[in-house]
Protein backbone atom coordinates (compact mmCIF):
# COMPACT_ATOMS: atom_id res chain seq x y z
CA UNK A 1 0.00 0.00 0.00
CA UNK A 2 1.38 3.43 -0.87
CA UNK A 3 1.23 6.47 1.41
CA UNK A 4 -1.93 7.71 -0.32
CA UNK A 5 -3.64 4.42 0.55
CA UNK A 6 -3.77 3.05 -3.00
CA UNK A 7 -2.63 -0.44 -3.86
CA UNK A 8 0.64 -0.76 -5.75
CA UNK A 9 0.08 -0.95 -9.46
CA UNK A 10 -3.55 0.14 -9.16
CA UNK A 11 -4.68 3.35 -10.81
CA UNK A 12 -5.38 6.23 -8.42
CA UNK A 13 -9.06 6.48 -7.54
CA UNK A 14 -9.76 2.91 -8.69
CA UNK A 15 -11.49 1.99 -5.42
CA UNK A 16 -13.75 5.03 -5.73
CA UNK A 17 -14.72 4.04 -9.27
CA UNK A 18 -15.66 0.56 -8.04
CA UNK A 19 -17.77 2.14 -5.28
CA UNK A 20 -19.48 4.47 -7.72
CA UNK A 21 -20.48 1.52 -9.91
CA UNK A 22 -21.73 -0.26 -6.78
CA UNK A 23 -23.86 2.78 -5.97
CA UNK A 24 -25.56 2.46 -9.36
CA UNK A 25 -26.42 -1.16 -8.49
CA UNK A 26 -27.67 -0.16 -5.03
CA UNK A 27 -29.85 2.63 -6.48
CA UNK A 28 -31.34 0.16 -8.94
CA UNK A 29 -32.09 -2.22 -6.05
CA UNK A 30 -33.72 0.62 -4.11
CA UNK A 31 -35.92 1.53 -7.05
CA UNK A 32 -36.88 -2.01 -8.13
CA UNK A 33 -37.00 -3.83 -4.79
CA UNK A 34 -37.47 -0.95 -2.31
CA UNK A 35 -34.36 -2.20 -0.53
CA UNK A 36 -32.19 0.46 1.12
CA UNK A 37 -28.51 -0.25 1.75
CA UNK A 38 -25.27 1.36 2.79
CA UNK A 39 -21.53 1.22 2.26
CA UNK A 40 -19.34 1.47 5.36
CA UNK A 41 -16.50 3.75 4.27
CA UNK A 42 -14.53 3.21 7.49
CA UNK A 43 -14.25 -0.52 6.78
CA UNK A 44 -12.45 0.16 3.51
CA UNK A 45 -8.95 1.29 2.77
CA UNK A 46 -9.67 4.38 0.72
CA UNK A 47 -6.82 6.62 -0.25
CA UNK A 48 -7.00 10.38 -0.46
CA UNK A 49 -7.51 10.12 -4.22
CA UNK A 50 -10.45 7.77 -3.70
CA UNK A 51 -12.11 10.06 -1.18
CA UNK A 52 -11.57 13.10 -3.37
CA UNK A 53 -13.05 11.33 -6.40
CA UNK A 54 -16.07 10.14 -4.39
CA UNK A 55 -16.74 13.61 -3.02
CA UNK A 56 -16.22 15.28 -6.37
CA UNK A 57 -18.38 12.82 -8.30
CA UNK A 58 -21.21 12.61 -5.77
CA UNK A 59 -21.25 16.34 -5.11
CA UNK A 60 -23.73 17.91 -2.72
CA UNK A 61 -27.48 18.08 -2.95
CA UNK A 62 -29.97 20.43 -1.36
CA UNK A 63 -30.39 18.74 2.02
CA UNK A 64 -28.10 18.79 5.03
CA UNK A 65 -29.23 17.68 8.48
CA UNK A 66 -27.53 17.50 11.84
CA UNK A 67 -28.72 15.09 14.51
CA UNK A 68 -27.61 15.18 18.14
CA UNK A 69 -28.29 11.60 19.17
CA UNK A 70 -25.58 9.32 20.54
CA UNK A 71 -22.99 11.88 19.42
CA UNK A 72 -23.23 14.15 16.41
CA UNK A 73 -24.48 12.92 13.04
CA UNK A 74 -24.12 14.94 9.84
CA UNK A 75 -26.30 13.84 6.94
CA UNK A 76 -25.60 15.31 3.51
CA UNK A 77 -27.58 14.55 0.41
CA UNK A 78 -25.35 13.92 -2.58
CA UNK A 79 -26.01 15.49 -5.94
CA UNK A 80 -27.87 12.27 -6.80
CA UNK A 81 -31.23 11.67 -5.18
CA UNK A 82 -31.19 8.59 -2.98
CA UNK A 83 -27.48 8.76 -2.13
CA UNK A 84 -26.58 10.21 1.28
CA UNK A 85 -23.24 10.75 3.01
CA UNK A 86 -23.70 10.07 6.76
CA UNK A 87 -20.91 10.87 9.23
CA UNK A 88 -21.04 10.11 12.98
CA UNK A 89 -18.61 11.96 15.26
CA UNK A 90 -17.99 11.83 18.99
CA UNK A 91 -18.01 14.80 21.38
CA UNK A 92 -14.43 15.70 20.41
CA UNK A 93 -15.26 15.75 16.68
CA UNK A 94 -13.49 12.50 15.83
CA UNK A 95 -15.21 10.46 13.10
CA UNK A 96 -16.58 7.23 14.58
CA UNK A 97 -18.39 5.96 11.51
CA UNK A 98 -18.96 7.08 7.96
CA UNK A 99 -21.43 5.63 5.47
CA UNK A 100 -22.80 6.26 2.06
CA UNK A 101 -26.44 5.36 2.46
CA UNK A 102 -28.70 4.52 -0.46
CA UNK A 103 -32.28 5.16 0.59
CA UNK A 104 -35.22 7.46 0.11
CA UNK A 105 -34.58 8.90 3.56
CA UNK A 106 -31.54 8.19 5.76
CA UNK A 107 -32.34 5.86 8.65
CA UNK A 108 -31.04 8.30 11.26
CA UNK A 109 -33.71 10.83 10.18
CA UNK A 110 -36.68 8.46 10.47
CA UNK A 111 -38.54 8.89 13.73
CA UNK A 112 -39.41 5.72 15.59
CA UNK A 113 -43.07 4.97 16.29
CA UNK A 114 -42.51 5.34 20.05
CA UNK A 115 -40.88 8.76 19.57
CA UNK A 116 -43.81 9.98 17.47
CA UNK A 117 -46.25 8.66 20.07
CA UNK A 118 -44.33 10.52 22.80
CA UNK A 119 -44.52 13.70 20.72
CA UNK A 120 -48.25 13.23 20.20
CA UNK A 121 -48.84 12.79 23.94
CA UNK A 122 -46.61 15.74 24.85
CA UNK A 123 -48.34 18.08 22.39
CA UNK A 124 -51.79 17.02 23.57
CA UNK A 125 -50.75 17.62 27.20
CA UNK A 126 -49.29 21.00 26.31
CA UNK A 127 -52.44 22.03 24.45
CA UNK A 128 -54.57 20.85 27.39
CA UNK A 129 -52.47 22.99 29.76
CA UNK A 130 -52.74 25.97 27.42
CA UNK A 131 -56.51 25.53 27.34
CA UNK A 132 -56.69 25.35 31.11
CA UNK A 133 -54.58 28.47 31.62
CA UNK A 134 -56.54 30.29 28.91
CA UNK A 135 -59.84 29.51 30.66
CA UNK A 136 -58.47 30.51 34.05
CA UNK A 137 -56.77 33.68 32.82
| Residue 3 is assigned to a structural domain of this protein | no
Give, for all 137 residues of the chain, the pLDDT tens digit: 333 344 444 578 899 999 999 999 999 999 999 999 999 999 998 999 999 999 999 999 999 999 997 789 999 999 999 999 999 999 888 999 999 999 999 999 999 999 999 999 999 999 998 887 666 55
Which residues constitute the domain of residue 116?
14-136
| Residue 116 is assigned to a structural domain of this protein | yes
| Residue 9 is assigned to a structural domain of this protein | no
Number of domains in the chain: 1
Calpha distance 101→86 (Å, rounded): 7
Q: What is the DSSP letter of 42?
A: G
| Residue 30 is assigned to a structural domain of this protein | yes
User: Are the beta carbons of 72 and 66 closer than 8 angstroms?
Assistant: yes
Cα end-to-end distance, the chain, whole Å = 74
| Residue 117 is assigned to a structural domain of this protein | yes
| Residue 80 is assigned to a structural domain of this protein | yes
Which CATH number is 95's domain given? 3.30.1370.140
User: Are the beta carbons of 38 and 99 closer than 8 angstroms?
Assistant: yes
Calpha distance 42→20 (Å, rounded): 16
pTM of the model: 0.80
Amino acid sequence: MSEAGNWSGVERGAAARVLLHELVTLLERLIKEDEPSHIDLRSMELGLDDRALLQQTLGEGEITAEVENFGHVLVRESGYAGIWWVTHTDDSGQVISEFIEVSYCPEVLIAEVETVADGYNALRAHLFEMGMSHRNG
